Amino acid sequence: MVMEHFKKKEWLSSKDYVLVTIDFDAETKKVICFCVAQICLLGGKEHEVIKFDSAHGVVHAHRYYQRAKHAGENLNSEISSETAKEFKREIITNWQKYKQWFLSKRQNISI
């Protein structure tokens, strides 16, 4: 199987973006895995705020605005480009809220 890789960064503000990466079978175009993440730039460093991915064959969410190290919450979703698009739309709709929660949880932590 020959894999192809798709990667796109879409800016939400001057310090925030959503990053979508998808690996798929070049022949069948079937999605093998994906990752959709909200990234914010703080102090010159990139920080994940929320991430939806299908690592290890299971779709799950990491909500870094809840805990700095989030183990992942399993979601009942299929591994597909439509699922990745759905999560991208969710981040675009809610990114300011997620970032506010992320910053409020870390106000006493040096980042």
Q: Per-residue pLDDT for 81 more than 80?
A: yes
On the 0-12 / 13-18 / 19+ scale of CB atoms within 10 A, 62 is: buried
On the 0-12 / 13-18 / 19+ scale of CB atoms within 10 A, 56 is: exposed
pLDDT at site 70: 66
What's the pLDDT tens digit per position in 31-46? Answer: 999 999 999 999 999 9
What's the pLDDT tens digit per position in 8-20? Answer: 999 999 999 999 9
Is residue 64 situated within a structural domain?
Answer: yes
Please tell me the total count of domains within the chain. Answer: 1
Is residue 91 situated within a structural domain?
Answer: yes
Is residue 92 situated within a structural domain?
Answer: yes
CA distance 61 to 15: 22
Is residue 110 situated within a structural domain?
Answer: no
Indicate the pTM of the whole model.
0.89
Helices (H), 1-111: 81-105
Q: How confident is the model at residue 108 (pLDDT cuts 50, 70, 90)?
A: low
Is residue 89 situated within a structural domain?
Answer: yes
Is residue 111 situated within a structural domain?
Answer: no
Domain with 88, as residue range(s), is: 3-105
For all residues of the chain together, what is the average pLDDT?
91
Q: Per-residue pLDDT for 59 more than 60?
A: yes
